[in-house]
Copies of this chain bind each other. A is one copy, B any other.
Amino acid sequence: MKKEFYAAILSGGSGERFWPLSTSARPKQFLSVFGGRSLLRQSVERLKGVVPPERIIIVTGAALAKATYRELPEIPRRNILLEPCRRDTAAAVATACTAVERLGGADAVAAVLTADQLMEDVAAFRRILRLAAETAATTDDIVTMGVKPTYPATGFGYIKVGRPCGKVFRAERFVEKPDLATAKKYLKSGRYVWNAGMFVWKVATLKAMLARYAPQLVGITPKDYARLPKISFDYAVMEKAKNVLVTAGDFGWDDVGTWTSAARHLGTDAAGNARRGRSTLLDCARSVVVAEGAPVAALGVEDLVIVTTKDAVLVAAKDRAQDLKKLLAEMAAKSDIPKKENKRR
């Protein structure tokens, strides 16, 4: 492990996927329903022994500054970079690159990590992170941390794994979220990994890639956001680059993208109900019940997501969890429920 290893945690998030528990003022990474501590806090704590707090950088929205300071008191405030507006991941990654260069110079190695995902096998995560760091330090390649798929997920992008290169692999191709048939094919082939949005790089390597594929992003800080386009790092850089390696490990990664996928992390009772907060269920099955607001009393219902906060109550069929954004759009259009809590920041 290089001594000068940095981590940049991207902590954006619009708060829509776990509405009403998550809101623009408290997006998913601040929720603590998964494992007691917030996902953001977990993302810092799993770096223990790998990256010290003073080398951790957080890129987050200006509106989340106070919440982030409170959640991560050990991170120096100068390391918490506040985006004045949303410009997607390309701008966030480039901002992190500038910050790491200032702290550690062109040879510093850094990981871009996510703030709102779960990793159940932290030891495996650290092992793979170290492998990626060593590889990035000793090559001119960027090393993306792919995740070995465990089911034919249609909610993630995939990376096609190429020929071995040391202990990792060439990344042959980035592909968009597939349909179910394609996802099954990917899974069966054994040649695809999930794109978890995490990757490790040497400052000089990333800077050269930015200069080639997105020169307007070189050396930027949050002050430059107004003039930047809204574009993802994968789209702007990664998909075009040739110098991409990929790890293909398994560290219990889950992006907990919907209430339904969250259920398995909450633990279930004999009838398959996952519960948080005060609730009474009579003859209910396979439901997710999270009562942060008024307590829930449910009778004879199955396969529902029920979430209460002081501001709203969500009741959704579990198999419609992925359409939550449509519901929020409908609400915003109707203005039946105050928009303040729903709109993207």
Residues of A in contact with B (beta carbons under 8 Å apart): 19-20, 278-280, 282-283, 291, 293-301, 304, 306, 308-317, 319-320, 323-324, 326-328, 330-331, 334, 336-337
Which of B297, B311, B315, B326 is in CB contact (< 8 Å) with A304? B315
In Å, the complex CA distance between A330 and B284 comes to 13
Provide a sorted-by-A list of 17 A–B residue pairs whose CB atoms are within 8 angstroms. A20-B297, A280-B330, A280-B334, A280-B337, A291-B313, A293-B313, A294-B294, A295-B311, A295-B312, A296-B315, A297-B331, A299-B315, A299-B320, A299-B326, A300-B317, A301-B317, A308-B313
Say how far A71's CB is from chain B's closest CB, in angstroms.
26
Q: Which residues of B contact A334 (CB under 8 A)?
A: 280
Q: Which residues of B contact A283 (CB under 8 A)?
A: 320
In Å, the complex CA distance between A313 and B313 comes to 8
Say yes or no: B291 contacts A323, CB within 8 Å. Answer: no
Say how far A290's CB is from chain B's closest CB, in angstroms.
11
In Å, the complex CA distance between A327 and B309 comes to 22
In Å, the complex CA distance between A291 and B96 comes to 45
Say yes or no: B294 contacts A312, CB within 8 Å. Answer: yes
Q: Which residues of B contact A299 (CB under 8 A)?
A: 314-317, 320, 323-324, 326-327
